[in-house]
Amino acid sequence: MSLNQISPGEDLQIDDRYDAYEVYINYWDRRSSGTSQVHKSAIKHFEDFLNKNNYKIGDVGRDEANQLFDYLKELSIFEDTASEYVSHIGKMFNYLQSIGALEWNPIFVEYHNSVFEGHETIKIPIPIRDLREGISNIKYPTNYAQIFTALKTGKRLGELINTDLRDINLDHKISKYMPDPRSEIADKNDTIFINSSITAGDVYNGEKRNNSNKRKKDTVIPIDRELKRVLVWYISSLPPSPSPAKPLFRNFGISGGTGTVGVRRSSGNTGDHFREIGIKNGWRNEDTNRVEGFTPHWCRHWFTTQLRNRISSDEISTEQESQSVERYIKGLRGDKGDDVIDLYTHDWDDKPWLRSAYINNIPKLLI
């Protein structure tokens, strides 16, 4: 039987890791070339890990899964990329199990969101004056708005892509032309909501999603005056979208843009534009085996570092409550844990410090 003809439910016994690898790659080769390449990169790292430790697929359980995480950390791969690789490896096990090739699954996905948190590989510092100048020179509307939003909110790539207009509550007349904000932020003016439950392949808000949100908990982030100005300008110029979800970041179809006009901007196009802007401004180093510098993850790191260095403990402590700066920033990042402030459930009117600590300390980017 040809490996290309294998389908779920067939009685197969595949013990050799190379056969399993070939089954999986052939399966993904029938999909888009971009998806196939991402999976091939993930499986290549996994195969290197197996070779290094003289493992076969049947040897891999939870302990070996943890070894894999450590192995990827040692490669200095970016946090988001490493997590994505582990997610794809987990999908490979799910697929092999579905076709009867394996009877077990070490449940990689259970780990991948938590293991890499805090794994930083950012090497290239960008002075804020250079960042401001570089941003001001961006001509394509979606590139400008995405990068500005990434820096101001700390959103990951997938979270940027998945943002819908209903995830934003703007205290501005432009809101008349936007969907009603979702219930979590309906009474919180000038805020943006980030949903933790969006998974690639699922239909969400009427549209099938190609990217997952890796956030560990739903999050509400304030919108400061600068980001509000950018969003109002950007939303007022949006072309119509065929999607019932009404995505925020869309293709414009003008010089410098790619894709069908009005369609949600893809992660691939977004990554390409981050790369182009990084190279143009000297913010990116691709001379080594890993990418260093300006990426969506760099923006998330910048967001975290700037607030950590600027917010004082006095700003987030009251007579009734005492919070650490670290816990506050974890709340903005959407990190999970009992020690993390559950931002989106608070009544912000009763706790103005939730908003003011962010507004007073997020750096200004407009020249």
Q: Mean pLDDT score of the chain, rounded to an integer?
A: 78
Q: State whether 86 and 186 are in the same domain.
A: no
Task: Look at residue 122 and tell me if it is in a domain.
Answer: no
Per-residue pLDDT, 111: 47
Q: State whether 207 and 292 are in the same domain.
A: yes
In terms of residue numbers, what domain contains 58?
A: 3-115
Task: Look at residue 99 and tell me if it is in a domain.
Answer: yes
- Condensed to tens digits (0 to 9), the pLDDT of residues 56-93 reads 776 777 677 778 877 776 665 555 567 677 777 777 77
Sequence-separated (6 or more) residues with CB below 8 Å from residue 304: 154, 329, 333
Task: Look at residue 83 and tell me if it is in a domain.
Answer: yes
> Are residues 218 and 344 in contact, defined by beta-carbon separation less than 8 angstroms?
yes
CATH number at residue 170: 1.10.443.10
As for how many domains the chain has, the answer is 2
Lowest mean pLDDT among 24-33, 127-136, 191-200: 24-33
Task: Look at residue 136 and tell me if it is in a domain.
Answer: yes
Q: What is the DSSP-derived secondary structure letter of residue 349?
A: T
Per-residue pLDDT, 112: 43
Q: State whether 231 and 290 are in the same domain.
A: yes
> Are residues 354 and 332 in contact, defined by beta-carbon separation less than 8 angstroms?
no
Q: State whether 101 and 153 are in the same domain.
A: no
- Condensed to tens digits (0 to 9), the pLDDT of residues 217-254 reads 889 999 999 999 999 999 999 999 999 999 999 998 76
Sequence-separated (6 or more) residues with CB below 8 Å from residue 286: 279, 292
d(CA 118, CA 96) in angstroms, rounded, equals: 31
Domain boundary (90, 115, 140) is at: 115
Task: Look at residue 60 and tell me if it is in a domain.
Answer: yes
The model's pTM:
0.68
Sequence-separated (6 or more) residues with CB below 8 Å from residue 73: 82, 116, 119
Q: State whether 254 and 336 are in the same domain.
A: yes
d(CA 360, CA 341) in angstroms, rounded, equals: 19
CA neighbor of 221 nearest in space, from 245, 185, 187: 185
Task: Look at residue 143 and tell me if it is in a domain.
Answer: yes
Task: Look at residue 150 and tell me if it is in a domain.
Answer: yes
Q: Which residues pair with 317 in a beta bridge?
A: 322
Q: State whether 173 and 106 are in the same domain.
A: no
Q: State whether 11 and 72 are in the same domain.
A: yes
CA 184 to chain centre: 21
